[in-house]
C-alpha cells in the first residue's frame, strides 16, 4: 500500500545500545489530510532515509510496516507508527498541504493532572517565566532546551521546548499568548521524585536544582511542600526550610564537611536568586 504525505518534523538522530551492540534510530512526523503519524527507521534504514527525507517535502512511500507506538517514546497522539524496512521505497512528489488550517483539540491546563501520563495533547496559555536557552551534548549530538512557565486561568505548568522549537522565538517569551500542538504530558524532566507522584496538586511550581558536588538533579514541588508542612507560615521558602529539603533529597548529612557546606551555601544563593 502507498502512503503519500509531507514531512512536517524531523527529529535528531539517536543512538542506543542493546545485546546486539550499538544502533541508531531516526524519526519523522508525516502529515496528510487525515492527520499525523510518526515514521521510524533503524540502523541502515535510518542512515538511508536520513539522506533522502527532508522537512517540508512530500514523498510517496511503499513497503512500510505498522506497529504500536510506545507510550514512553511517542510524540504524536496516534496509537500506531510506520516502520521502514529493507524493502521500503520512497520518492519525492508534489503533494499540496493546507498549512493554514491546523486543527487543535485543546485541553485546559486545569485538566492536565487528570489525564494519563504520556498523553499527547494541545494546550494554550500565557508565558509567565522564560528561563532562557541552554545547550549541551549527548551521544555526539548537540541539543538546545528552553524551559518556560505558562498560565491559563490561574493554572500553572512548566513546559520544555527542545532544539529548533527552543529557538523559534528570538526574544524573552514572558507575556506571550501561545498555543502548542502535540505536547507530551510527563513528570518534570521525567525525574519528579516519588514522594510527589501521587499528591493531589492542581497547580505545580517545580524548580530544577543541580548540585555541583555530585551533579545530582532535584525537582521540588514547593506548593506541595508548603501545603503539607504547617510550620511554614507563608509562601516564602527560607534557608532553614530549603536546607531540610536538600538534606532529605540529596543525603548531605552523610557527607557533612566544610567543603559540602560551602557548596550548599552556593546552591542556596543560586536558588534564592532564581526563586526571587
Nearest to 178 by CA among 150, 144, 202, 201: 150
User: Is 99 a member of any domain?
Assistant: no
User: Is 111 a member of any domain?
Assistant: yes
Strands 3-10 and 58-62: antiparallel
Q: Are 167 and 235 in contact (CB under 8 A)?
A: no
For residues 181 and 194, membership in a common domain is answered with no
In tens, the pLDDT along 41-54 reads 999 999 999 999 99
Using alpha carbons only, what angle is made at residue 77 by residues 71 and 79, rounded to the nearest 5 degrees? 60
User: Is 15 a member of any domain?
Assistant: yes
Q: Are 130 and 172 in contact (CB under 8 A)?
A: yes
111-115, 201-205, 259-263: segment of lowest average pLDDT: 201-205
For residues 157 and 194, membership in a common domain is answered with no
User: Is 236 a member of any domain?
Assistant: yes
| Domain count for the chain | 3
For residues 226 and 216, membership in a common domain is answered with yes
pLDDT of 264: 53
For residues 79 and 114, membership in a common domain is answered with no
Instruction: Please say if the pLDDT value at position 106 is more than 70.
Output: yes
User: Is 48 a member of any domain?
Assistant: yes
Phi first, then psi: give them for residue 219, nearest 5 degrees: -115, 125
User: Is 140 a member of any domain?
Assistant: yes
User: Is 182 a member of any domain?
Assistant: yes
For residues 178 and 193, membership in a common domain is answered with no
Where residue 19 sits, what CATH number does that domain have? 2.40.50.140
For residues 16 and 57, membership in a common domain is answered with yes
Confidence of residue 165 (pLDDT cuts 50, 70, 90): confident
In tens, the pLDDT along 235-255 reads 444 445 555 555 555 554 455
98-102, 140-144, 238-242: segment of lowest average pLDDT: 238-242
For residues 192 and 257, membership in a common domain is answered with yes
Confidence of residue 145 (pLDDT cuts 50, 70, 90): confident
Q: Catalogue the E-assigned strands of 168-235.
A: 177-184, 206-210, 217-221
Residue with the bigger pLDDT between 198 and 92: it is 92
**pLDDT (average), residues 67-83:** 87
Phi first, then psi: give them for residue 185, nearest 5 degrees: -90, 120
Residues in the chain, how many? Answer: 276
pLDDT of 190: 38
Q: Considering 186, 213, 239, which residue would you say is the last residue of a domain?
A: 186
Q: Considering 157, 186, 215, which residue would you say is the last residue of a domain?
A: 186
Using alpha carbons only, what angle is made at residue 105 by residues 104 and 108, rounded to the nearest 5 degrees? 115
pLDDT of 131: 85
DSSP string, 69-105: PPTTT--SS-SEEEE--TT-EEEEE------S-----
Q: Are 4 and 93 in contact (CB under 8 A)?
A: yes
Cell 555541583, residue located: 212
For residues 193 and 174, membership in a common domain is answered with no
Tell me what the pLDDT averaged over the chain comes to: 73
CA dist., res. 271 & res. 239, Å (int): 10
For residues 211 and 223, membership in a common domain is answered with yes
In tens, the pLDDT along 147-159 reads 888 889 988 888 8
SS3 of 144-158: the string is: EEEEEEEEECCEEEE
Nearest to 9 by CA among 101, 79, 76: 76
Residue with the bigger pLDDT between 220 and 114: it is 114
For residues 34 and 110, membership in a common domain is answered with no
pLDDT of 41: 95
CA dist., res. 25 & res. 5, Å (int): 20
Identify which of 57-66, 161-170, 214-223 has the greatest average pLDDT: 57-66
pLDDT of 234: 44
**pLDDT (average), residues 73-97:** 89
For residues 12 and 82, membership in a common domain is answered with yes
pLDDT of 87: 94
pLDDT of 158: 80
User: Is 98 a member of any domain?
Assistant: no
CA dist., res. 266 & res. 252, Å (int): 14
106: DSSP letter: B
Give pTM, 2 decimals: 0.56
Q: Containing domain of residue 153, as a range?
A: 104-186
Q: Considering 49, 72, 93, which residue would you say is the last residue of a domain?
A: 93
For residues 32 and 10, membership in a common domain is answered with yes
pLDDT of 103: 77
Strands 217-221 and 206-210: antiparallel
Amino acid at each position: 500500500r502507498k502512503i503519500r504525505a509531507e514531512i512536517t518534523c524531523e527529529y535528531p538522530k539517536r543512538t542506543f545500545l542493546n545485546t546486539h551492540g550499538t544502533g541508531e534510530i531516526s524519526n519523522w512526523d508525516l502529515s496528510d489530510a487525515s492527520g499525523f503519524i510518526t515514521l521510524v527507521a533503524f540502523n541502515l534504514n535510518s542512515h538511508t532515509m536520513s539522506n533522502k527525507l527532508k522537512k517540508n517535502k512530500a514523498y510517496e512511500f511503499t513497503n512500510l510496516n505498522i506497529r504500536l507506538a510506545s507510550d514512553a517514546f511517542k510524540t504524536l497522539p496516534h496509537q500506531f507508527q510506520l516502520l521502514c524496512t529493507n524493502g521500503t521505497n520512497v520518492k519525492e512528489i508534489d503533494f499540496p498541504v493546507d498549512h493554514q488550517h491546523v486543527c487543535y483539540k485543546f485541553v485546559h491546563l486545569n485538566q492536565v493532572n487528570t489525564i494519563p501520563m504520556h498523553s499527547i495533547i494541545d494546550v494554550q496559555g500565557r508565558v509567565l517565566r522564560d528561563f532562557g536557552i541552554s545547550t549541551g551534548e549527548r551521544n555526539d549530538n548537540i541539543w538546545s532546551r528552553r524551559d518556560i512557565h505558562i498560565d491559563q486561568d490561574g493554572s500553572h505548568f512548566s513546559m520544555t521546548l527542545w532544539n529548533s522549537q527552543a529557538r523559534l522565538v528570538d526574544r524573552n517569551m514572558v507575556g506571550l499568548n501561545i498555543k502548542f500542538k502535540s505536547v507530551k504530558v510527563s513528570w518534570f524532566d521525567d525525574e519528579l521524585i516519588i514522594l510527589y507522584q501521587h499528591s493531589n496538586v492542581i497547580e505545580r511550581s517545580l524548580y530544577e536544582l543541580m548540585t555541583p558536588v555530585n551533579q545530582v538533579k532535584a525537582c521540588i514541588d514547593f506548593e506541595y511542600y508548603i501545603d503539607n508542612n504547617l510550620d511554614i507560615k507563608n509562601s516564602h521558602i527560607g534557608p532553614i526550610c530549603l536546607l531540610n529539603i536538600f538534606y532529605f533529597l540529596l543525603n548531605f548529612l552523610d557527607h557533612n564537611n566544610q567543603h559540602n557546606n560551602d557548596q550548599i551555601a552556593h546552591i542556596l544563593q543560586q536558588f534564592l536568586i532564581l526563586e526571587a
